[in-house]
Amino acid sequence: MELSGNQKKIDFHTHTDASDGALSVGELIEEAGRAGISVLGICDHDTVSSLDEAVAISETGGITIVPGIEVTSSYRRFQLHFLGYFLDYTEKVFLSRLSELRDARIRRARRIVAKLNRIKIPLTFESVMERVGGQNSVGRPHIANTMVEEGFARTYDEVFHKYIGIGRPAYEANFPFPPEEAIAMIAAAGGLSFLAHPSHYVNENLLGYLMKKGLDGIEVIHPSHSPEEVAFYGQFADNNSLLKSGGSDFHGGLKNDGENLGRYVIDRKWVDGMLARLGN
pLDDT of 204 strictly over 60: yes
Asked whether residue 199 falls in the same domain as residue 71, the answer is yes
pLDDT band at 134 (very low <50, low <70, confident <90, very high): low
**Residues 6 or more apart whose Cβ sits within 8 Å of residue 280:** 1
Asked whether residue 252 falls in the same domain as residue 210, the answer is yes
Asked whether residue 150 falls in the same domain as residue 193, the answer is no
> Which of 76-85, 160-169, 200-209 holds the top average pLDDT?
160-169
0.75 cut: is pTM over it?
Answer: yes
- Mean pLDDT (whole number) for 268-278: 96
Q: What CATH number has the domain bearing residue 114?
A: 1.10.150.650
Asked whether residue 65 falls in the same domain as residue 131, the answer is no
CA distance 280 to 276: 5
pLDDT of 61 strictly over 80: no
- Mean pLDDT (whole number) for 49-73: 91
Helix (H, G, I), strand (E, B) or coil at 256: coil
Q: What CATH number has the domain bearing residue 230?
A: 3.20.20.140
> Which of 70-74, 102-106, 234-238, 251-255 holds the top average pLDDT?
234-238
Asked whether residue 22 falls in the same domain as residue 40, the answer is yes
- Using CB atoms within 10 Å of the CB of residue 64, give its burial: 0 to 12 exposed, 13 to 18 middle, 19+ buried: buried
Q: What is the mean pLDDT of the chain?
A: 91
- What's the number of domains the chain is made of? 2
Specify the higher pLDDT residue, 176 or 12. 12
Asked whether residue 121 falls in the same domain as residue 234, the answer is no
**Range with the lowest mean pLDDT among 7-16, 22-31, 73-82, 145-154?**
73-82
Asked whether residue 34 falls in the same domain as residue 81, the answer is yes
Q: Domain of residue 31: give its range.
A: 9-89+180-278
Percentage of the chain exceeding pLDDT 70 = 96
**Half-sphere CA count of 35, side-chain side, radius 13 A:** 25
Asked whether residue 151 falls in the same domain as residue 78, the answer is no
CA distance 223 to 64: 22
Nearest to 165 by CA among 248, 79, 225, 249: 79
Is 175 within the bounds of a domain?
A: no
Position 200 scores a pLDDT of 66
Asked whether residue 195 falls in the same domain as residue 253, the answer is yes
Nearest to 111 by CA among 140, 132, 75, 136: 140
Asked whether residue 186 falls in the same domain as residue 243, the answer is yes
Q: In what order do the strands lie in the sheet containing 217-221? A: 9-14, 37-42, 64-75, 78-85, 192-195, 217-221, 243-246
Is 109 within the bounds of a domain?
A: yes
Asked whether residue 82 falls in the same domain as residue 189, the answer is yes
